[in-house]
Amino acid sequence: MSVRGGAIAEGSRWLRRQGRPGVAQGDAHAADQGIGQGIGSPPLPTGTGTAPAMPLPTALRAMKPPRLMRSAGFRFALLFAALFAGSAVALAAMLWWGTAGALNRQTDAAVRADVLALTERWRETGPTGLAESIDERLAGDVENETIYLLVDPEGRKLAGNLDRWPGNLPASEQWSQREIDREGLRAEARLRVENLPGGYRLLVGRDVEERERLRELLLEALIWSAGAVLAFALLGAWLVRRALEKRLLPTYATAAAIAGGDLGSRVPLSGRGDEFDRLASTMNAMLDRIARLMDGVRGVSDAIAHDLRTPIARARGRLEEALITASHEEDLRGAVERGIADLDGVTRVFQALLRIAEAEAGSRRAAFAPVDLSPLLADAAEYYAAEAEARGQQLQTDLPPELTLDGDRDLLIQAVANLLDNAVKFTPPGGTVRLEAATGGGVLRVAVTDEGPGIAAADRLRAGERFFRADAARTTPGSGLGLSLVQAVAHLHGGTLELLDAREDGERRGLRAVLVLPRG
Amino acid sequence: MRILLVEDDAEVARFVRKGLQEAGHLVEHAANGRDGLFLAASETFDLLMLDRMLPGGVDGVRLVETLRGQGNRTPVLFLSALSGVDERVKGLKAGGDDYLVKPFAFAELLARVEALGRRPAVDVPSTRLKVADLELDLLSRTVTRAGRRIEVQPREFRLLEHLMRHAGQVVTRTMLLEKVWDYHFDPQTNVIDVHVSRLRQKLDKGFDKPLIHTVRNAGYMIRAEA
């Protein structure tokens, strides 16, 4: 028990240190756990809880990183790289269309304009005027980029800067791009042929050698940048994968440690409040819950070991004694009857323990339904009023007409019944027991006040512990489980059980037990 | 009464069977769910007593659901080691009529068996209950004995009504708690005795013949003769 308690305390401290206050959901649970712990057991030495689990490296080695294609990190990274490369390709295409493409379109437009203008000239002035016009244009071309050639029907040159009509030119009004001889140099040119009336032919073109060089440069640059993009994408992918793995590593480690038996281990929070922190705090909340369930189981087995053996031993002793020493059937019968009564007592304790465990496990929370406590409390008061009257006491009630909350009807009644049972049991004849209920501040309070001996402040924290009985209560019948159940029911409903003095002075201070239950 | 007991524990079965036979009932026993279902479906019984957890692939809840699905309305009493609130609800929802948690006192079992077995098949809506000279009017909610009006609290009225509906039968404290108060737990102090003795005082005051009798180690019974 102490080892377990320490482990939880250790875990929650770790959380508190690591966690950001806003996101550390585990913290609230840990604090809650802390309260339960405080009541459930004496203060524990710290640090005892780091259980001797499977050494972490072993646990991690057992969990090999996944194969490359199986790795989610790698797949994310690949997707990332593909998106990155895709956007780079789109950028390059836009760039190409905007530069190299624009140059081509410009050239074509200039040639088309030239053809149009020269054809017009031909119509106005005939071959001679056209030849003059071509010569003018050539003279005015400082960049030496334009190409013209006008030939007569026999193929003789009339004007232009080409020596002869190049072979294999496509038909009129079609574009062609090819190498031509020009003033002794080979040059790349874009050409267009216009057939003029009378068999004359006009060739208009532009030297695109320079532009081609520019395009090559551009292409080269794009290829280089594509390489860079790929390299960055891969690097990014690797980084993403590594970051994912790094963020998930503490989670693996914690899960491995838990699997190895160190139940106190919790996933550290990065404090960034991101998805991983959310996963971690959800996991921690789950682990806290599991720890609490295990506490419940352990509590029951501890209790069985310690406190069920006693009545069983008593019953066994009585029966054995009767078997050996009873001389009449009467004696034997009496002993058997007492034995059965003892066993019934054991059954009752057992049943109470199971109920407490049921409440503590919290599985009944799924069955919560709206309950109006007011008539239930009135019924319980009426039920116990008969007993109080028989003992010469008075049971007074002060209940509002309606007290609704979401809860477990049966467990709530049993909790209140346990409080009333205690109150009636400990109040002396002539005394008064009060059952009050009120709402306010989002909580519902059910208070049972008696005039009994009360519970000393020192014992109050332990009163909810299973089988705990204050010295003053040892002479009255009871199992020491009543308040444990009340407390478990309170916790199940997200509330608490407060134990207070009913009066400040006097020897009989009385007990005021308040069940504080949040509404909704 | 002809009773079918489906129980896999031989010792519990023997003890229950013997006790019921001594009380004058005929008991058939099946040790697993399959045999139990076969018997229950092929023969006529006045009452079925089923364990919740049974070997043979058919547990108690399945067995009842199957029978109810076939239109078999025989009363069913569950005997179970499963004591959770949910478990009881599950058993009753499946079609069980009563639920008794192991370990139980035989007197408790017998009282419940008789209460279930002698239940009228169709509830005849009667407006008056009568035991000897005691009369209970369910409409005006009044109690009279030998013509003299007796004042009772509403809860006492319900308590008396339950006892009178089972006149001549033992009604245990747990049964009263469940049926009159709807409490499904065992209060530590037997407050129920106080309620019964109060009622008894009111009924018997001024009369020489007591009507409510205490049955030792079992519970209470209301009947005419002393």
Q: What is the pLDDT of residue A490?
A: 92
Give DSSP secondary structure letters for A360-406. HHTGGGGG-EEEEHHHHHHHHHHHHHHHHHHTT-EEEEE--S--EEE
Q: Tell me whether A124 touches chain B (CB under 8 Å).
A: no
Give Cα separations from A337 to A195, A323, A447, A477, B16 (angstroms): 132, 13, 39, 19, 19
Residues A445, A516: Cα–Cα separation, whole Å: 5
Q: What is the pLDDT of residue A16?
A: 42
The pLDDT-based confidence of B120 (bands split at 50, 70, 90) is low
Q: Write the Ramachandran bin of A273: left for phi over 0, alpha for psi from -120 to 50, otherwise beta.
A: left
Out of B103, B184, B191, the one facing A347 most closely (by C-beta) is B103
Q: Check B195 against A364: CB less than 8 A apart.
A: no
Of A39, A116, A36, residue with least CA distance to A362: A36
Domains assigned to chain B: 2-117 (3.40.50.2300), 128-222 (1.10.10.10)
Q: Are strands B171-172 and B148-150 parallel, antiparallel or unpaired?
A: unpaired
Instruction: Give Cβ neighbours of residue A275 (< 8 Å, ≥ 6 apart).
Output: none
Q: Tell me whether A300 touches chain B (CB under 8 Å).
A: no
Q: What is the pLDDT of residue A67?
A: 63
DSSP B139: T
Q: Tally DSSP H helices, then E strands, for chain A.
A: 13, 12
Residues A498, A455: Cα–Cα separation, whole Å: 12
Q: Tell me whether B185 touches chain A (CB under 8 Å).
A: yes
Instruction: Give Cβ neighbours of residue B106 (< 8 Å, ≥ 6 apart).
Output: B15, B16, B19
The pLDDT-based confidence of B176 (bands split at 50, 70, 90) is very high
Of A127, A194, A197, A137, residue with least CA distance to A161: A137
Q: What are phi and psi of A292, to 5 degrees?
A: -65, -40
Structure tokens at A27: 């913290």
Domains assigned to chain A: 2-77+241-305 (no CATH), 103-215 (3.30.450.20), 363-518 (3.30.565.10)
Q: What are phi and psi of A328, to 5 degrees?
A: -115, 160
Structure tokens at A104: 């081509």
Q: What are phi and psi of B137, to 5 degrees?
A: -100, 115
**Residue-wise pLDDT tens digits, A375-393:** 999 999 999 999 999 999 9
Interaxial angle between packed helices B191-204 and A373-390, expressed in degrees from 0 to 180 and rounded to the nearest 10: 70
Q: What is the pLDDT of residue A45?
A: 41
A-B Cβ pairs (cutoff 8 Å, strict): 58
**Residue-wise pLDDT tens digits, A46-89:** 433 344 444 444 544 445 555 666 677 777 777 877 888 888 88
Q: Check A343 against B103: CB less than 8 A apart.
A: yes
The residues facing A146 across adjacent strands are A206
Residues A412, A517: Cα–Cα separation, whole Å: 10
Q: Check B85 against A364: CB less than 8 A apart.
A: yes
Q: Tell me whether A365 touches chain B (CB under 8 Å).
A: no
Structure tokens at A237: 């992918």
Structure tokens at A415: 């909790």
Residues A78, A244: Cα–Cα separation, whole Å: 13
DSSP A262: -
Low-confidence stretches of chain A (pLDDT < 50) are 1-57, 59-62
Q: Check B195 against A348: CB less than 8 A apart.
A: no
Residues A516, A233: Cα–Cα separation, whole Å: 59
Amino acid making up residue A373: L
Give Cα separations from B104 to A336, B49, B80, B81, B172 (angstroms): 16, 14, 10, 10, 12
Q: What are phi and psi of A486, to 5 degrees?
A: -60, -45
**Residue-wise pLDDT tens digits, B83-107:** 777 888 888 899 999 999 888 889 8
B132 pLDDT exceeds 50? yes
Distance from CA of B30 to the nearest CA of A (A): 27
Q: What is the pLDDT of residue A35?
A: 39
Q: Check B191 against A384: CB less than 8 A apart.
A: yes
Q: Check A425 against B191: CB less than 8 A apart.
A: no
Residues A371, A379: Cα–Cα separation, whole Å: 14
Q: Check A354 against B101: CB less than 8 A apart.
A: no
Q: Write the Ramachandran bin of A454: left for phi over 0, alpha for psi from -120 to 50, otherwise beta.
A: left
Q: What is the pLDDT of residue B49?
A: 94
Of A481, A212, A511, residue with least CA distance to A352: A481
Residues B29, B32: Cα–Cα separation, whole Å: 9
Q: What is the pLDDT of residue A181?
A: 78
